[in-house]
Copies of this chain bind each other. A is one copy, B any other.
Amino acid sequence: MSGKVWLVGAGPGDPELLTLKAAKVLQGAEVVLLDDLVNSQLLEHCPRARVLRVGKRGGCRSTPQDFIHRLMLRYARQGRRVVRLKGGDPCIFGRGGEEAEWLGARGIECELVNGITAGLAAASQCGIPLTLRGISRGVSLVTAHTQDDSVPNWPALAQGGTTLVVYMGVARLADIRDGLLAGGMRANMPVAMIENASLPQQRECRSNLSRMLADATAFHLSSPAVLIIGDVATRAEQALARSA
């Protein structure tokens, strides 16, 4: 009598950016473990489930990962249908991979359900095409924050020819700027900084690589936010209506 765990992407914030599959899985859930950054309006899809809040916001007091693992294991071993609801996509900076491996090693069936990741939602909301013929032939999603304090290879990323979308970068703007300049990126490369992407309180600050730290400070940019760095970051901003 073993249950199952679904690692489900809640999307970027707008509750309508949930997938139909995620909504269906939530409807069948008996236990839901909810991350901090997930919009609690999504709980409308699982009115009868037991909901446990297990936030893990960087730098703040939060539930240890090990405890979350054990909670999922306990309920799955009770035969429950368990949903772990994470902001964005479970495998883009969401630790979905770690959790799936940990559960799999203990014989628990586990399924990943994709979500819209914040960087892609931020771009669409601001009318920024992450890829554009002749301008950008790809996009790199990278995180500036890691527990082990390792640093991304910013100079190589500057040279890859992709639009850069940086998560958890608000506290590292000087390092990001210096690394990209060292890789040969232009000082006036456009940058868009988007706070609370896809939510009603979304704010955006347009800047460029050399000015982004000063502009973010003046703007009082705060987490959660994503940075979009690349020539596409000035495109189409007038052309597109904001999401209704």
Contacts and interface: CB of A to CB of B under 8 A. Distances in A.
Contact of A112 (B105, B114, B127, B157): B127
A148 B130 contact: no
A244 B111 contact: yes
A15 B24 CA distance: 13
Contact of A91 (B94, B130, B162): B130
Interface residues of A, number: 77
17 contacts: A4-B241, A15-B20, A16-B24, A20-B23, A89-B120, A90-B124, A91-B124, A94-B131, A97-B130, A97-B132, A100-B129, A101-B129, A101-B235, A103-B239, A110-B239, A140-B140, A157-B161
A69 to B, nearest CB: 13
Interface of A: 4, 11, 14-21, 23-24, 89-98, 100-101, 103-105, 109-117, 120-121, 123-125, 127-134, 137-143, 146-148, 150, 152-153, 156-157, 159-162, 232, 235-236, 238-241, 243-244
Nearest to A167: B138
A141 B137 CA distance: 9
Nearest to A135: B97
A238 B49 CA distance: 29
Contacts of A91: 120, 123-124, 128-131
B17 A17 contact: no
